[in-house]
Amino acid sequence: MPTEIQTPENGHGLDGVARGRADRLVGILNGVDYAAWNPEKDKLIAARYSAKDLSGKQVCKQELLELFGLSHDHLERPLIGIVSRFADQKGFDLIAEKSARTDARRSGVGGAGNGRAQI
């Protein structure tokens, strides 16, 4: 049951309506459709790969580094890619907090989406 929109903070003035109709309210859970987003069959990525053959993953990573303007020095480092709506509720504050606690220079981060520029 989608309780998030039933709060004043996230209901944007409609939280009372959402609570009043909670018995009929349904939500779409976040998740991935692995049939549609399968790197073994995806024609839109730089190279295909699978759990058994990861060789194409490095090619895809190199393309992402170029797309985000990151140095090829990052090829051997972790790369975090995020496609999301930039909103407080999505947990970007947690990423920032953890990055501050770790040596962020040892990884790369690239993001695409819309929402609050401050995030």
**pLDDT tens readout for residues 11-48:** 899 999 999 999 998 877 777 788 888 999 999 999 99
Burial label for 108, CB within 10 Å (0-12, 13-18, 19+), is buried
Torsion angle of the four alpha carbons 24, 30, 105, 67, in this order, in degrees rounded to the nearest 10: -120
| Phi and psi at residue 112, to the nearest 5° | -140, 140
Q: What is the CA radius of gyration of the chain?
A: 19
The pLDDT of residue 60? 94
pLDDT higher than threshold 80 for residue 88: no
Interacting residues of 26 by C-beta distance below 8 A, sequence separation 6+: 1, 2
Look at residue 67 and tell me whether its pLDDT is greater than 70. yes
Q: How many whole angstroms separate alpha carbon 31 and alpha carbon 18?
A: 23
pTM of the full predicted structure? Answer: 0.58
Provide mean pLDDT across the span 86-101.
76
Q: What is the reported pLDDT for 102? A: 67
107-116 average pLDDT score: 76
Has residue 110 got a pLDDT over 80?
no
Centroid of chain to Cα 108: 14
